[in-house]
Amino acid sequence: MRLVVEKYHGLGNDYLVYDPNKNKMKLNPANVQLMCNRNFGIGSDGILEGPVMEHDRIAMIVWNPDGSIAQKSGNGVRIFAKYLKDAGYVQKKDFTITSQGGESAIHYLNEEGTRLKASMGKATFWSDAVPVEGPRREIINETMVFGRIPYPVTCLSVGNPHCVILMDEISKDLVCRIGKYSESAKQFPEKINTQIIKVLDRTHIQTEVYERGAGYTLASGSGCCAAGAAAYRLGLTDPKMEVRMPGGALEVEIAEDGVVHMTGDVGYVGTIKLGTHFTQQLRTLK
């Protein structure tokens, strides 16, 4: 039986939705890598597997394009929420999606489900929660060396780990140069996502993102939330701001209890029915 996937994007960060209720193949690192390959496969920044029903909860698995599993994805959770509405799994405006990094409360802001608000959980800067090696401490504006260059680093978790670096000027080339060292640096036993940020004013920041397991991306929902939470903790912004990325902008708000919320759009690309030969090729991979 041929496989069918749905393709969506959140500000240019594109994902395939693989519904195990409609497809009879188990995903593994090898076939995920091939599906995500932009030359020999379909091409995407990752795969969202689900819905998986767990004790009346809707769960998804977030696969990175290198075949590893991500704890959480901000764009991914919005995309998955849009798919759940499109496929008829969800009719109500408010519900919760569970992933390895915790729960995200979803609120549809229009009938089509193309604009959503999602909670990403509480931001924590404690080293053991990120995690970061060394004595337990909050990682706020701490100097770390990547590729022999020192940087002022703020580390936090919003269900997945982030390293945020404040800079006067940011670019794709710069975040890629830093990210290739920081992602697997010895300080981060579970690797880390890297954001470089530029504060424009109290309600606007810019960020460039290098994701663990994926590399450079046009947009990252969890990265936006981490960037916003870090800028707010450093006293540089108000609790509600617009975070701009090359793929577009998200609204980020840090509530009084520390929970980070994001609001943004999702685009539906289409349904992809995989060819017989390609489907057979995927099934043989272990």
What phi and psi, each to the nearest 5 degrees, are found at residue 187?
-65, -20
What one-character DSSP code corresponds to residue 226? H
Q: Which residues contact 179 (CB under 8 A, 6 or more apart)?
A: 194, 210, 215, 216
160 is annotated as contributing to ligand binding = yes
39 is annotated as contributing to ligand binding = no
37 is annotated as contributing to ligand binding = no
Quote the CA–CA distance of 282 and 42 in Å, as a whole number: 12
Quote the CA–CA distance of 107 and 85 in Å, as a whole number: 12
28 is annotated as contributing to ligand binding = no
64 is annotated as contributing to ligand binding = yes
21 is annotated as contributing to ligand binding = no
What one-character DSSP code corresponds to residue 68? P
Instruction: Map residue 88 onto helix, strand or coil.
Output: coil
Residue 191 tokens, joined:
């690797």
Q: What is the 3-state secondary structure (H, E, C) of 270-281?
A: EEEECCHHHHHH
211 is annotated as contributing to ligand binding = yes
Compute, in degrees rounded to 10, the torsion defined by CA atoms 40, 41, 45, 51.
-160
44 is annotated as contributing to ligand binding = no
Can you say which residues are annotated as belonging to the binding site?
Answer: 13, 64, 74-75, 160, 193, 211-212, 221-222
Can you say which residues are annotated as belonging to the binding site for substrate?
Answer: 13, 64, 74-75, 160, 193, 211-212, 221-222
